[in-house]
Amino acid sequence: MVKTANAAAESIRPLYMNGLSGRMIKLPPPRGKRREILLISGHHTSIERIFGLAEYLNRYGGVTSPDLPGFGGMDPFHKIGEKPTLDNMADYLAAFVKLRYKKNRRFTIMAVSYGFSVATRMLQKYPDIAKRVDALVSISGYTHKADFRWKKSSILLLGGAAWTVSFAPMSFFVKHTLLRAPVIKLLYRAAEKRHPKLKGVGNEERDERINFEIKLWRINDLRTYTYVSSRGFRMVPAKKHVDLVVHHVAIEDDHYFDNLLVEEHMRTIYKDFVLVKTKLPVHAPTVLATPKDVAPFVPPKIRALLRRQP
């Protein structure tokens, strides 16, 4: 874990886009590897959390992974008077692609959870970028509000609460009362026997994970997090077709999504759908995961796909 943290520090670069300041991972390709991988993380994350996955993928090619506005400590869209809509996130990602990759450079997209929603909207809005994608991989991604497997009452409650907190006054209040470190720690400790990130781990690792979650809650912009969460419960994808095959890594017994509905909705968007199942206790990599820890998120079928020369 220390080795991964040190490697992360050496490979993280500043990122300035459209008046917003953030960070990105930039790992050059190993000798003889031509593939370039754009890794897009979800919305409760940071560069440090995703770095283990980036480091693992680096064996297959160069890896670039930018912050999304409002997440991982990056400035939020609110700073420039914009809302963190899915379209704005997609436009930001498209601008990043056009700046970081040469015009005719082909690349692979690997996107985690909400990051796949952003990638999908970008590919729908920018067919010129879609033509440059040589492989598309979803890791626990989703594209439709019906993909969530929770009860309707739970979705209404959580969505309503998130929508309320997405406004500045309530967000300020919650951040300075409920999102204080002692309160967050107390809530996680109360739920540790049921929480997929905490159950079944030793005391030392549990405390490490809780401390990392505290950091995530503090560095992620709360207005952005709650806005994205509330809109996710109402997400309906654009109808534009994308002429790409999506390889979807589905977590068996995913506590967030119904895998059958995820497949149904992705098939309406993409040319074809390839299901790749994996067994994992969590929805996405946790804490400062090492390459060994994140290997199950890249099952053998995906490894075989990435080993092919683009």
Q: Are 100 and 37 in contact (CB under 8 A)?
A: no
Q: Are 51 and 24 in contact (CB under 8 A)?
A: no
**Of 152-156, 158-162, 234-238, 291-295, which gets the smallest average pLDDT?**
291-295
Same domain, 18 and 143: yes
Q: One-letter amino acid identity for 28?
A: P
Same domain, 209 and 247: no
Domain membership of residue 178 as a residue range: 152-228
Same domain, 133 and 162: no
Query: Using CA atoms, how far apart are residues 266 and 278, in angstroms rounded to an integer?
Result: 18
At 99-112, the pLDDT tens digits run 999 888 999 999 99
Closest to 164 in 3D by CA, of 178, 152, 179, 174: 174
For the record, the structure tokens of 138 come out as 């979803």
Q: Is residue 1 scored above 50 in pLDDT?
A: no
pTM of the entire predicted model:
0.91
Task: Please say which residue of 164, 198, 228 terminates a domain.
Answer: 228
At 198-253, the pLDDT tens digits run 666 677 777 788 888 888 888 999 999 999 999 999 999 888 999 999 999 998 87
Length in residues, the chain: 310
CATH code of the domain covering residue 84: 3.40.50.1820
Task: Please say which residue of 179, 196, 228 terminates a domain.
Answer: 228
Same domain, 108 and 255: yes
Q: Are 286 and 163 in contact (CB under 8 A)?
A: no
Domain count, the chain: 2
Task: Please say which residue of 189, 208, 228 terminates a domain.
Answer: 228
CA dihedral 274, 277, 281, 287 (to 10 degrees): -50
